[in-house]
Structure 1
Amino acid sequence: MMRPSGPFRALFVIALILLPATQVQADSTRISVRDYGVLPKISQMSISPNGEMIAYRMTENERDMVVVYDLEQGKHKASLDLSESGLQFNGLYFATNEELILRASQVRWVWGYRGDLDLSTAFAYNVEQNEIRQLLTPGDVIYKGQEGLGRITGFSPDNKFVYMPAYVPDSPNDQSPRMSLMKVDLDSPRRPRVHFKGKPDSIEYFVDENGEVMVHETFNNRRNEHEIFVREGDGWKTIYREETKIRSIIPVGLTPDRDSLVVLANNRETGRDDYYTLSLESGEITNMGFGREDADIEYTYKGLDKIVWGARYSGFNPEYRFFDPELDRRMQKIRSMFPEHSVWLRDWSDNWEDLIIYVEGSQFAGTFYKFSKNEPPTQLASARPKITAERIHPVVTTRYKTRDGYKIPTLLTIPRNRVQSLRNLPAVIMPHGGPAAYDQIGFDWLAQALASRDYLVVQPQFRGSSGFGLDHELAGRGEWGGKMQDDVTDSVNVLVKQGIIDPERVCIVGASYGGYAALAGGAFTPDLYRCVVSINGVADLEEMLKYEEREYGDDHWVVAYWQNNYAKGEVTDELLNAVSPALHAENFQAPVLLIHGEDDQNVPFRQSKIMYKKLRRADKAVELLELEGETHNLMRGETRLQTVEAMVSFVDKYLRRNEVGESAQ
């Protein structure tokens, strides 16, 4: 086995003692916006299959560590220092009682390839032997220039091997490798074997209890053909075929008997994403009756064997349904203990004896609990021990009607000292990213930081948002800068009319698509906002579409998705330019702050550079903050603090009143 080297140091002693959140003494001094923006101290908690250990990520000051804690003995078992790795760690879970899987990514240049690549992979960390190994390494049998590594499809029966999809070239000069399934030795992962050689258009695999591929999924971008094959003797049988630019069914797992695939698809009768099975024998698709008319099934809970045990529904607060009646009753009881809060199932032990639950909302800034069968719950740790209940600003739900009668669900984060007097408040409108996403009740560090400065934060779930039914999402197609933007504008107008917000003190802040909406607000409703903040936002849609075409190829489904999203598929330069804020810089009246990660691979930094140059040439007030080493999701501690401080300082400059009661300039 390989010993830890390079960026990793394995430790057996660590100063942190895991304490129940109630025992953490909050700092009595006044907290700042930095305290809201800091990375969670405890995150990504997982429990071992036997329920005896937990593992979690601990981030504090300059330290970034994975800690393994023995619940039975009440002491730390092992830990791993990630601080100098140069990697961004996105998750961890127990594969066995001895092995942790860590997923990580890094944006860097690779010789022979154009531009930087977002290289992701997985590591196995043996808790008993204190050893870490990278499972797949680009260039080691697999294609050197690929992204998206780290996904595990299954395990061998003896748990000694994992099966991982990866692109494998036929020769050193092959520039069109196939996604195959690799068999990786957990103890010695170098020189992995090709377990199953894929087709040029393979996208997913499902394996049986012996680790053999039983289901093979393909999507041909040139022919717009989605197919699913099942093994039949020595050959393969097609059980599903559809001609479509974008998949209409998404396989997510297997039924416990492995006789059917579990697939998510939209239910035409309800307009909601629903739960179906696809028979591996007949190809028949069956609705299993778990769907709802008021929520989408947005996630399924499955083990490492891909067997699905339950589902989570969309909504401002997540709801659940499990197929085992006893487990379902347990989850409903747990949810009832935290009314109006978001209760997240994070992990579970074998046979679902122990559940790791994460709670956040108006009274919790993130608290981990262990709920074990027939035992009282154990409070494990607070994600943000400095943010106590009295320092959390309450989040409430509301709806408003747009100019064309559309009802928009909305979250309001209210400064605690203004709960009893919602009149004439300074406000920040904060549209979410996506746009096919939505906000939920929880600890939103940007919203909480702004509310701590006495701003009402408004988060409209404009048409085009997911989570509220297909009709709501499709109503936003082709409406960039149109009805989606009108919905954001109307959130201001309605609250002004109700006397809740001061029309002279409104800013708009957003990230990703929300950054686009912020810039569109400055460009197309210039009288509405006193300031504009765009974080990793889109500014030039024509340039953005060209970027996607370079990344994926002009016949890829991702490009088709964005063409449909921007303009219902009828894309023209004139249409894109008409709704691109960068091409309307002369309209801006409000000052603009652009914040962008230099390594953003979703929305490239060039988007903010274009916006900055256009505004400067138009002689408009603009600032640009480049976040060194940061990607799209602001996961680095230092750059998150840069972001929250710069954003709040900028908003303060234009919304806070000076000593004589006038807005600061």
Structure 2
Amino acid sequence: MNFVKVFCAVVLAAASPAFAQEGNGPTEPVSHLAVENAEIPIAAFSTRSDFGTAMLSPKGTRFAFVHRSDGEAKVVLMDSDTLEPLHTIRTGEKYGFNWFRWAGEDRILMSIEATTSFFGMPIPISRLVVFDIPTQKATAIGFRKQGVEGDDVLYIDPYGRFIILSMSESLFEQPDVWRYPLDGSGEDGAVKVQKRDRLVDEWFADDQGTVRMGVGWTRGDSTIIHYRSAPGEDLRRVTKLKRDAEELDNWDILGIYAGSDTGYAMMKGADGRQVLREFDYATGEPGRLIHQQPGWDVDSVLFNDRKLVGIRYTDDERQTVWFDEEMAAHQKALEQALPGSRISIASRAGTERMLVMQYGASDPGALYVFTPAQRSLKMIAALRPEIDHTRMSEVRAIEYAARDGTPIRAYLTLPRGREAHDLPLVVLPHGGPYGIRDTLRYDDWPQLLASRGYAVLQPNFRGSGGYGEAFEELGDGQIGRRMQDDLDDAMDWAVAKGFVDPGRVCMVGASYGGYAALWGVIRNPERYRCAASFAGVTDFNAQIKYSGKYMERRYRKDFRRKVKGEGDAEIDLDDVSPASQIHRLTRPVLLVHGNEDTRVPFSQFKTMVEAAEKAGKTLETLELEDNHNLAKEESERAWLEALVAFLAQHNPPD
């Protein structure tokens, strides 16, 4: 296991933090000793953090994190006091890994995934495994005959004795709900607590494990919601809503509590931004407003048992608003102890112990364990010890006006050690495109490109998430059109400010960003010298058809409408698809794709290659043995090496 052991500790004083060093290891990663002008290896930017999804046990005596290496995810257990490793749980190379959760203090519940074929279509199958720490024994959770979703856990007993599990017996049946033991006795000890209902596709339980709500979807794209106020009562229909009914957004269930019909829900406020309100599940009616963050969506809600203690939102960076005074004081003390950084409390065992993330826009950050009673903050590890944050480039938030006056937020990375004038530029749009956004947080790709001498601009074009419903809807039907204009306008802003040489601009991206890069050089070759695409969409009509196979009925039409537009505004997607418009290509293109991609299928790559051959166009191509998310470190390194070489040839930084 390649992780940095404890190398410093911070004692939190009441007024100002005092620092003390623990252990014999270095206080800084070895890379800090590198010569300042030495080129940072590409491999450093494709290295995975050893500490993914870290989580404390309920009492805080242990913590676990996901460690990925050699194509396999492992769950590593560590002692919270000594920070020594206790055990490594291997999931196996042939399985994907979804998540883990603590089941009491001595058990870990894990969801793993395999893929099967159904009439030629790949279908993911999820299954559960429980690992008992004292015996170090792993046991499968589930039934000999079950459907594809085997990890729909509604409730975990805090003592780790059982879970409440919703599961279908086959692909075409509604789920039953079971109380399933975690003691290794298997399905013989399982007890059915809620039989299936033909009108219910998904069940919800309260904080005591009682099934309280059932939601189903009809062939007519309606949603039916059933509810009971207490155990023993019959489920009754609360409401039936059409797919496009605004009231459906109110049923964003954050928690159902025993003895109460009132919970919390995230819903749209008067300005179209997401707010937190109380919600009456028995009537379907919103209650009082709990929190509205001026100018921003509420992203998530923080609880301590049943108590609401805070919310999170994202402006340029992730922010936390604590309603709990004790947690607010802890946050302030942590910010004082680690000045100049963003601080996020990633996991808590009540208020007795916490896992703390420290990071910045040009700093991958570090993970700490915080014990408030001892006023002790111990560093577990640098998340990316190969990255020397003191050699990373400055990232700043900027705002520009699109040609129609729409304000667009973007992030500009300027190469370290170079004058910010007449620089070569890489425009790097995000994927999605809808509801996704970039933020002011460390990002490998911009930092790699900046280390090679490029300015990098990441625009949150119209359709991006986080800026309210109205801004996202500005992107409806605008793929390849006004969404693309926003990217061009970002370039114009950088040129007008003097940062960028207009004759040295390329566009690079992945997924939707890969599409935007391809379309950019086809649509506006006078602007862009080259384009590089990883896993980009090349034929939007084929992508809509493919994606629709995996979407629930209520989302399929909405996705099509967002992409194509509707009525008089509906667009012909062939007009903005790179494969259909390949005859217009006059600039160099690097096309890279994973042949195991199930999000944007490898057929999109093959379609583009075949279209280029027919049109007599030349593409630089790279096929990777990987999926849409570049799960393998060596795959991302191969992509980045190809990208840097491609840019050096077609848009040299000097």
Scaled to the shorter chain, the TM-score interval is 0.7 to 0.9
Query: What pairs up with 1:207-356 in 2 under 5 angstroms?
Result: 207-231=205-229, 233-245=232-244, 247-254=248-255, 258-267=260-269, 269-302=270-303, 309-331=309-331, 333-335=333-335, 341-349=341-349, 351-356=350-355
Q: CA deviation at 1:123?
A: 2.6
Label 1:359 to 1:180 Cα distance change in 2 as closer, same or farther (>3 A).
farther
2:175 and 2:521 map into 1 onto residues whose CA distance is 44
Amino acid at match of 1:408: I
Report if the CA contact (8 A) 2:178-2:193 is conserved.
yes
1:476 and 1:385 map into 2 onto residues whose CA distance is 39
Cα offsets for 1:277-310 (capped at 9, x unmatched): 221344331243311121111122357x887543
Q: CA deviation at 1:381?
A: 0.8
Q: CA deviation at 1:273?
A: 0.7
Amino acid at match of 2:399: R
2:411 and 2:85 map into 1 onto residues whose CA distance is 40
Label 1:545 to 1:65 Cα distance change in 2 as closer, same or farther (>3 A).
closer
Report if the CA contact (8 A) 2:229-2:261 is conserved.
no
Aligned residue for 2:513? 514
Q: CA deviation at 1:594?
A: 1.9
Report if the CA contact (8 A) 2:478-2:563 is conserved.
yes
Q: SS in structure 1 opposite 2:408? A: strand
Amino acid at match of 2:506: C
Report if the CA contact (8 A) 1:428-1:455 is conserved.
yes
Query: What pairs up with 1:1-400 in 2 under 5 angstroms?
Result: 18-20=5-7, 23=27, 25-27=29-31, 28-29=33-34, 30=38, 31-59=40-68, 65-82=74-91, 84-106=92-114, 108-110=115-117, 113-136=119-142, 140-143=144-147, 146=148, 149-156=150-157, 158-169=159-170, 176-188=172-184, 190-191=186-187, 194-200=192-198, 202-231=200-229, 233-245=232-244, 247-254=248-255, 258-267=260-269, 269-302=270-303, 309-331=309-331, 333-335=333-335, 341-349=341-349, 351-362=350-361, 364-374=363-373, 375-400=375-400
1:290 and 1:523 map into 2 onto residues whose CA distance is 46
* Gap regions ≥5 residues in structure 2: 9-25
Q: CA deviation at 1:16?
A: 5.8
Q: SS in structure 2 opposite 1:379? A: strand
Label 1:583 to 1:300 Cα distance change in 2 as closer, same or farther (>3 A).
same
Q: Which moved more, 1:397-406 or 1:19-28?
A: 19-28
Q: SS in structure 1 opposite 2:520? A: helix
1:363 and 1:546 map into 2 onto residues whose CA distance is 39
**Percent identity among equivalent residues?**
25
2:652 and 2:281 map into 1 onto residues whose CA distance is 62
2:539 and 2:71 map into 1 onto residues whose CA distance is 37
Q: CA deviation at 1:213?
A: 0.1
Cα offsets for 1:548-567 (capped at 9, x unmatched): 333347xx122122112112
Label 1:490 to 1:182 Cα distance change in 2 as closer, same or farther (>3 A).
farther
1:16 and 1:253 map into 2 onto residues whose CA distance is 35
1:230 and 1:501 map into 2 onto residues whose CA distance is 62
Moved over 4 A (4+): 14-17, 59-64, 255-258, 305-309, 335-342, 569-574
Q: SS in structure 2 opposite 1:102? A: strand
Amino acid at match of 1:54: F
Aligned residue for 1:640? 636
Amino acid at match of 1:377: L
2:303 and 2:568 map into 1 onto residues whose CA distance is 39
Q: CA deviation at 1:627?
A: 2.0
2:185 and 2:522 map into 1 onto residues whose CA distance is 53
Aligned residue for 1:10? none
Cα offsets for 1:378-412 (capped at 9, x unmatched): 22111111212223222110001111111100011
Aligned residue for 1:7? none
1:189 and 1:450 map into 2 onto residues whose CA distance is 54
Label 1:184 to 1:505 Cα distance change in 2 as closer, same or farther (>3 A).
farther
1:189 and 1:297 map into 2 onto residues whose CA distance is 43
How many residues matched?
624
Query: What pairs up with 1:511-550 in 2 under 5 angstroms?
Result: 511-550=510-549
Amino acid at match of 1:37: S
Report if the CA contact (8 A) 1:415-1:451 is conserved.
yes
Report if the CA contact (8 A) 1:362-1:389 is conserved.
no
Question: Over the residues paired in the alignment, what is the CA RMSD in angstroms?
Answer: 2.8
Report if the CA contact (8 A) 1:154-1:164 is conserved.
yes
Label 1:209 to 1:254 Cα distance change in 2 as closer, same or farther (>3 A).
closer
Q: CA deviation at 1:636?
A: 2.1
Q: Which moved more, 1:591-600 or 1:466-475?
A: 591-600
Label 1:575 to 1:63 Cα distance change in 2 as closer, same or farther (>3 A).
closer
Q: TM-score, normalised by structure 1?
A: 0.86
Report if the CA contact (8 A) 2:113-2:124 is conserved.
yes
1:123 and 1:595 map into 2 onto residues whose CA distance is 35
Amino acid at match of 2:611: K
Report if the CA contact (8 A) 2:429-2:509 is conserved.
yes
Report if the CA contact (8 A) 2:97-2:113 is conserved.
yes
Aligned residue for 2:11? none
Q: CA deviation at 1:460?
A: 0.2
* Gap regions ≥5 residues in structure 1: 1-13, 170-174
Q: CA deviation at 1:73?
A: 4.1
Cα offsets for 1:133-173 (capped at 9, x unmatched): 33347xx3312xx2x5434221246532112333333xxxx
Cα offsets for 1:475-524 (capped at 9, x unmatched): 11111111111101111112112221111211111112212211221221
Report if the CA contact (8 A) 2:55-2:355 is conserved.
yes
Report if the CA contact (8 A) 1:429-1:458 is conserved.
yes
Q: SS in structure 2 opposite 1:68? A: strand
1:543 and 1:653 map into 2 onto residues whose CA distance is 33
Aligned residue for 1:415? 415
Report if the CA contact (8 A) 2:206-2:256 is conserved.
no
Q: Which moved more, 1:541-550 or 1:254-263?
A: 254-263
2:302 and 2:202 map into 1 onto residues whose CA distance is 18
1:381 and 1:571 map into 2 onto residues whose CA distance is 56
Q: CA deviation at 1:276?
A: 1.8
